[in-house]
Copies of this chain bind each other. A is one copy, B any other.
Amino acid sequence: METIEQGDAFDPNCPTRMVLDRIGDRWTVLVVISLRNGPRRFTELRRKVNGVTPKVLTQTLRAMERDGLVTREVFAEVPPRVEYTLTPLGMSLQTPIQAIADWAEANVGKVMSAREASLQA
Is A59 on the interface with B (CB-CB < 8 A)?
Answer: no
Given A4-B98, A100-B99, A111-B68, the answer on whether A105 and B10 have CB atoms closer than 8 Å is no
Chain B residues with Cβ below 8 Å from A103 are: 19, 92-93, 95-96
Q: Is A3 interfacial (CB 8 A cutoff)?
A: yes
Report whether B96 and A100 are in contact in the complex, using a CB–CB cutoff of 8 Å: yes
Q: What's the Cα separation between A98 and B4 when bound, in Å?
A: 7
CB-based contact B89/A110 at 8 Å: yes
**Which secondary structure dominates chain A's binding surface?**
helix
Q: Could you give 13 example pairs across A and B, Cβ below 8 Å? A: A3-B98, A3-B101, A4-B33, A4-B36, A6-B48, A8-B101, A9-B33, A10-B30, A10-B51, A16-B100, A20-B24, A24-B25, A100-B100
In the complex, the answer to whether A6 meets B33 with C-beta atoms within 8 Å is yes
Closest to A20 in B: B29
Pair A107/B92 contact, Cβ less than 8 Å: yes
Starting from the known contacts A16-B101, A89-B110, 20 additional A-B residue pairs (CB-CB under 8 Å) come to A4-B94, A9-B29, A10-B30, A10-B48, A16-B105, A18-B108, A19-B100, A19-B104, A19-B108, A20-B23, A20-B100, A23-B23, A24-B24, A24-B25, A65-B118, A66-B115, A68-B110, A93-B103, A96-B99, A96-B100
